[in-house]
Structure 1
Amino acid sequence: MKVLSVEPRTPAWYEVRSESWTASTAAVLCVRENAELLRDCAKDRGVTLDIEPLLEVGLESFYGNTLWKEWAVKTGRIGREKDNPNMARGKANETRIVQHFQEKKMFLVQADVTATSSIDPWLLASFDALAPQSSDPSVRAPYGFPVEAKCPAFPSRKKMFDARKAGKLAIMGLPYYWCQVQHQALVAEAPYAWFVAIGAELDADGNFVKLLEDFSIMEKVPRDERFLEAYHAAASFYYQTFIYMCEEPPKVASDVTLLEQLAAEAAFDRAIAGDDIQEAVALYLEAAAEEAKLEARRKMLEAKVIEAANAVRKAGEGVVILADRLEFTYTPAKGSVSWQKVAKALAKKAGLDEVPTDVIAANTGKAGNDKVAIKDMEAV
């Protein structure tokens, strides 16, 4: 393994990553649609890829990443996606989590290491840390053991704890992390990697308060040779064919949608930059009309998924989760008495001890259906 002298998240670091295949993109090749498309591309060129170990990971999606999108980002056709708040939170807490790992394991690690593989220089890994070989002399790890630090939000932590309850590694609750550490073990030539996940408590303004150390996950993730054999072959074909040769891979439907969106944004930017306000307004109104259509469709589909959630909801159950993705939170809707205080005051003035029951009945609203809040758990 060759350690590179680049600081994380600097222009030089991003440049070397754009020229390599990295751990953070490992899961892209394991998404069913991507793996099958890559297999077919290889077959057309007389190359046989065994994708079964990749499919067994069980990924149907990975944040919309496709073979074409990864190629477009690495070759500069489209810009790199900006960090969302969850990504920013994770990066901000990596150092704290690595420090916690050191304190618990009582050995020092080498933090923020970027390196390429001795076998294939295009294989790159940016390690949050490397635990020293001396931390486990029972096995051989010439460059140390990768340490991957994560700061997941509650829904993600729940998936990991559910995986652990099912007798699996906690990391299998979020299998794209498993793909990432397998890539790291491949580059580091290590028999296992450390996966450390700790949530963070934030204040009302979203500022860090403390790590939730009582609910931490700290586990060894064994190297999976069968997976890595299939993964290395797939990554090699993808990199050599498309990234290295700058050949455009096939698009899928989401790629076409993305390009249409980028084209619309570029047209609007050109209109604004060229002081063509009429064109800019026309584009805006067109987008607003399209948004209205999408909103109507969203409401229609929302009503249907609520019906599906209601169908499986048990009596009094406050939360229902569909497909391990959509979380439905039910808030009981209570009945109300309209103008009750006014009626009592009027009754007293009329010399009555109580408000007549027929008056109360006439002004009592019926209890409505529970209110339902829907949350995309994968977006948290």
Structure 2
Amino acid sequence: MICGLLVDHLGWRAAFAAIAGLCIVIFSGSFLVPTPAKPERKVVFDLPGVVLTVIGLFSVILGFLKVSSWGLFTPFNAPFTVMGLSPAPFLVLFGLIVLAIMLKWERHREATTGSALIPLSFLATPQVRNGLYLTAFIFLAYGSGIFVTVSFVQVVAGLNGIETGLLILPFALGVVVFSLGLPIVWKNANPKRMCQSALLIGTLGSVLCIFGFGPSDFSMIVPVGMCLIGVSMGIVSAYSSYIVTSALPARDAQQSGGVQATSRNVGQAIGVAVCGMVMLTAVTMTVQDMASHDASLSQDTQQKVANLSVIPYLSDTGFSTLMLDQGVNQKDVTELNQVYKTARLKATRAGMVATAVMTLLFLFGTRNLPVRARGSDDAAGEEPRAKKSKI
């Protein structure tokens, strides 16, 4: 809301300056954090592992983020093509190959030096893997839900920054209240059941949002649905870190924060990429299909619409300008605007359907979650650490 107020009255530069100032405050506060005890033996900086990790993650995240603008296979506005295809999937593939090489290197380093950026226990323990999946869900839900909703309310409904902030306030409250309050109110909750319930709540929230969007406006169902998505994120946030750290040796648990942060970033990139791709594909295909069967449009207009490789997600005015720039006559532009409103609504709903489907898929990653929270009398079979599996 604060950044929305700054954007509305002072512009984007002021909003980003405020974010930069907050980062400086946080950085200054880091000096108040107690210095951890030095390890018994000297730790050598893993330069090859860091370089491989940076290249791999950068390629994967950038590739996912660019799917919505470059296209999944058919190139949209890509700066170059690979064998006539969009470079986005190739960038993701390259990043995955680099990360696979990095994991091989980390195994070698852990075997020879006893330390690694990503210890084997992170990958060999089912509970840790499932915990990282849920950590990714937190920002996947944030990225996809916010992306679809904010795109609609600002581009279509015309809300300004502060109005958008007020709209997503229930979402933020759901995250904060449940992530901080749930462990206090319900100390001995079943983490597995809570996370499964959270995913179902998030799915319900996405479904509600589908019915809250209209051709040019939205109903109060949308903030209710976003609140449920926020509640879902909050519940998972309350348990995801515990799920990861409780299954790791003490030393590995101390360095799990970086891996969890990486999972969140990858999850957000995937959420935005999938929803962006679904929305662009839906709006493009729907407009082209409806235009080709609209007898009131001239053949010249139908051909011009069919020749467009991608039709962006735009406001009514933006779409009219795009069509006029393509040489479509004013009469057909008026008719196409009605077609576009229908297509845009379908695309928005398709984006929320994608969010709901992705949320449901995370249920498959809850099988190995613990059934008792830390401190319970019968916590997870009374074993301090989860068993490892061979991978």
Higher relative contact order (CA 8 A, sep 6+): 2
By percentage of residues, which structure has more helix? Answer: 2
> Which structure has the greater CA radius of gyration?
1
Where is the strand percentage greater, Structure 1 or Structure 2?
Answer: 1
Same-fold status (TM-score > 0.5):
no
